[in-house]
Chain A
Amino acid sequence: MLQNIMSSTFRNANAFCLLLVLGIAAVISSCENPGSVGSGLSESGADVEILRDTIGVVDTLGFNSYSGNYAFFAAGAYNDPLFGELKATGLVRPSLPAAGDSLEEDATMKMRILFDSQNVYGDTLADQSFEVYRIEEYWRSRTHKLKDELQIDQSQAVASFTVETEDSMDVTLDPAWVSEYYMAYAESEDADADSLYQNEVYGLALVPSGSNKIIPLDAQSTRFVIENPETDTFEVSNGQWAYHMSRSNEPDQPEGSAAAYNMLENILSFRLDLSGIDINGPSISRAELVFYQDNAIMEQSISGSVKRPQPQSAQLRFVNSGQIPDNLIAGNPSANGSYSEEDHAFHFNVTSLIQNGLINGFPENRKFYFMLSNDGSVKASLLSIDPGSEKAPKLVITYLKNSTE
């Protein structure tokens, strides 16, 4: 009996004490709120630091690359005191009408062209005249290159027009050309009329006369309108488009600056030497590559209504230098850069690239290439490449530094 009472008492005591402990433990552990207290007890720790590393040697190189099938194709001419005398000839080729559409005798065919008036290169308010000639040589928009010249029949203009400040216009094409080089195929009964048209009709060239401005033409919106005297008007699309551009009398660029032109006409190449950077790759929070535009010189060389379209984006490629330019055209860029109006510079987020470079090293055969983005319009930028300049291209790395010492 006594033993039972004692045992019961002990059990009650144990339960009471264990409940007490659990209660106190619960109160103690009820909430945790760690803060900054104690962070300054030791100099050991981590801090966020920024490293700025100048890119030493930047080379320029250029290629004759493809100019067709972009969103725009250019036509016009402008003598740029900074980047040389530019002459762009637009190349178009109308598609044949869709089934159900037909041209009547005496139908009028017009070329409806739409411009990207925001990206006109040259004197935006000046008139720019064009002659439209027949192309006499086979070409394809997929394979046509910027510097490739096509044979053009300049003995007789198919049309002529002048662009002022409007953003679209209709240009009536010569009925003789329409009859001989379009209607004959569009209304042909031959089963192989399409292939005959492909092989025998090469389209039209928009050749500038005068050199006031270069206009980017919207490739998708530019089309051909056929007005029948009796039946409905219909449109045919622009089947192929590209452009040829020549650049002559290009002046030497100021020392410490390099010209970059889109369409791979002039690009920059460089290597990044990370051997002197004592940072662990995974500690990098952001790595940014900055290329400054020499904006003062660019602005000094134009005035009034003259404008150069500002490239808003650029690409950074990190490719095998033995396989350029093919690997500059295909594939995706390593980083897309955007232009900042604040500091007039192109900024590339290269965090992953630099992290990998610091962890695994860069392959010896690869180089970095800076390219203005290609959209078919004509764009140029003067970039500062003087390593001694404040505006030298630089790599800016923000990282978590182990300051345990």
Chain B
Amino acid sequence: MAQSQDEQAKSGSVYSKLGIGYPVGLSSTSARSLGLTGVSYNETYVAGLTNPAHWGHTVYGLGAGGVGIDSYNASGASAEARNVHFGIHQFQLQLPVIRGKFGVSASFSPVTQSNFRNYQEDVMDVGTGVTQDTLLYGIENRGSGGANRAELGFGWRITPHISVGYAASIVFISLDDHYTGVFGNANYQTVGYTLETSGSGFGNRFGTYIRIPGLLGSEDQLGIGASVNLPVSIDAQRKQTADLGPSSLSTEDGGNLGNGTITLPMTINAGLSYHPSRLTMFATEATYENWSDFDNDFKPSEGALFTDRYKYGLGFQYFPYITGSNKFLSQFKYRIGASYDTGHLKIQGEKINTLKFSFGLGILSPRSNSNSSIDLSFEYGLRGTQNMNLVEEQIWGVRLSLNLAEIMFFRPKLQ
């Protein structure tokens, strides 16, 4: 029996099958290069989402958008799989209202992503008595979608050193969980259905950022940042839909179909950054998400799998371009970092943790009067374990984001 293949459907982490997908976080590509969320520092020429307080520092009109591709080499106890996921990441527009004092942000960003595909074959007994036989069948399970956030917010720099921010958002869920049964006997039809989950809820975020310049020297600066994402309660519907060729048939009758609630957990980001000079920065940040309170009316049996998530990151960046050197290697922004994520899943007593190493390269616009840049991020990580028949994933990822800070984005008159 040939395995079903779909060249168009790409898949990601096998763990994104659980819940409403794997949490994505709000990090920009540059922050990901540092293994951080970006809550503890502000980049003048790069839009940031993690901490609304940073929007109060907006001087340039900023725009950002990114894409990424990840490869997941998954190894189980007796099988291996390779999945590749290409995704469009966050888009953000960040504008100054009072330059350097008050800024606003509009963005669209993923909260969770579910992209998986697996296929399993089995045999079952059919017929009775003398006609008993075995039937070979396979079930392919493909998932796609996730939760996304459409957000509007503002940041206010209350004093030169302290800023706060707030963002309100609508979180949309759109998840498709598709099952296809194929059979090794021509008398059996291929059948399939999709569990479609959709819904929306309101989210709120708060952030603060404290900047302490001249702490140990005349050029240094300490940054302290924190943000809180309040839990989001999503009123959702789930239906089972079957494709009938020219039409489709949906039902909300049945176990775990119909209306329900999905509660996304609270997230706290906090961190410390230190710029010894304009060229360099060290930062360490942590994230807490209380996934133990995650609630999904449509998958109650998975409730016990979720556990509180802690993520720690440490990063270093070096911007030699600031020196004005025209050497080739001095034209880039360099970032390097590592993160350890305890994961939001605990399966059979094993936490699905992720260790990641990242490296980033920022390419500045060749236009002499432009501050726009392209950020590249390269990641390598290990997720999960093969203990208890679980899955270990080797992750390779590349991300690219375009950071616009051009005249069309209200380039300041004074520079």
- A-side residues, CB < 8 A to B, are 2-3, 5-7, 9-14, 17-18, 20-21, 24-25, 28-29, 31-48, 50, 278, 280-286, 340, 342-343, 345, 349, 351, 359, 398-400, 402, 404-405
Contacts and interface: CB of A to CB of B under 8 A. Distances in A.
B387 interface: no
A285 B69 contact: no
Given A9-B331, A38-B118, A349-B187, A281 B80 contact: no
B83 A32 contact: yes
B137 A48 contact: yes
A285 B188 contact: yes
A17 B191 contact: no
Contact of B255 (A3, A20, A29, A405): A405
B81 A37 contact: yes
A402 B255 contact: yes
**What 7 A-B pairs have minimum CB-CB distances, sorted nearest first?**
A38-B14, A282-B242, A10-B366, A35-B81, A46-B179, A400-B181, A37-B81
A404 B298 contact: yes
A33 B254 contact: no
B149 interface: no
A286 B14 contact: no
Contacts of A284: 189, 191
A35 B366 CA distance: 45
Contact of A5 (B15, B124, B249, B326): B326
A222 to B, nearest CB: 38
Given A29-B71, A41-B347, A286-B188, A6 B119 contact: no
A340 B242 contact: no
B323 interface: no
A28 B71 CA distance: 6
Contacts of B130: 342-343
Interface in B274-324: 298-302, 305
Contact of B398 (A25, A31, A39, A41): A25
A18 to B, nearest CB: 8
Contacts of B391: 37-38, 41
A53 to B, nearest CB: 14
B411 interface: no
A192 B18 CA distance: 87
Given A2-B326, A33-B82, A41 B15 contact: yes
B218 interface: no
B152 interface: no
B242 A280 contact: yes
B366 A39 contact: no
A43 B83 CA distance: 22
A20 B193 CA distance: 41
Nearest to A282: B242
Interface string B380-409: 000000000111000011101000000000
B166 to A, nearest CB: 36
A286 B81 contact: no
Contact of B76 (A36, A286, A398): A36
Specify which of A37, A40, A44, A281 lies most central, judged by the most chain B CB atoms within 10 Å of its CB: A37
Nearest to A26: B69
Given A17-B363, A43-B301, A50-B126, A283 B141 contact: no
A281 B70 CA distance: 38
A405 B79 CA distance: 26
Nearest to A45: B141
Nearest to A351: B189
Interface of B: 10-11, 14-15, 17-18, 69-71, 74-76, 79-84, 86, 116-122, 124, 126-131, 135, 137, 139, 141, 177, 179, 181, 183, 187-193, 195, 240, 242-244, 249, 251, 254-256, 298-302, 305, 326, 328, 331-332, 347, 361, 363-366, 368, 374, 376, 378, 389-391, 396-398, 400
A32 B71 CA distance: 9
A interface: dominant SS: mixed
B79 A36 contact: yes
B188 A398 contact: yes
B366 to A, nearest CB: 4
A44 B302 contact: yes
Contact of B378 (A24, A29, A349): A24
Contacts of B244: 282
B118 A42 contact: no
A324 B114 CA distance: 56
Contacts of B374: 14, 17-18
Contacts of B189: 284-286, 351
Contacts of A24: 378, 398
Contact of B80 (A32, A35, A45): A35
12 contacts: A2-B326, A9-B328, A13-B363, A17-B376, A32-B11, A36-B81, A37-B76, A38-B15, A42-B17, A48-B135, A48-B139, A48-B181
Contacts of A47: 139
Given A42-B305, A44-B301, A349-B187, 6 more contacts: A5-B326, A32-B11, A32-B82, A34-B83, A37-B75, A285-B188
A46 B141 contact: yes
Given A28-B396, A285-B188, A13 B332 contact: yes
B179 A39 contact: no
Contacts of A43: 301-302
B188 A45 contact: no
A69 B214 CA distance: 109
Contact of A402 (B187, B190, B195): B195
A351 to B, nearest CB: 6
A404 B175 CA distance: 14
A343 B69 contact: no
Given A32-B10, A37-B74, A340-B131, A10 B331 contact: yes
Contacts of B254: 278, 280, 402
Contact of B81 (A29, A34, A41, A345): A34
B191 A399 contact: yes
Given A2-B326, A39-B141, A45-B179, A11 B11 contact: no
Contacts of A36: 76, 79, 81, 118-121
A29 B69 contact: yes
B309 to A, nearest CB: 17
B29 to A, nearest CB: 11
B191 A342 contact: no
Contacts of A38: 14-15, 17, 74, 76, 81, 116, 118, 391
A103 to B, nearest CB: 56
Contacts of B400: 21
A48 B185 CA distance: 14
Most chain-A CB neighbours within 10 Å: which of B79, B81, B305, B364? B81
A10 B188 CA distance: 61
Contacts of B397: 28
Given A359-B249, A400-B191, A28 B70 contact: yes
A34 B11 CA distance: 8
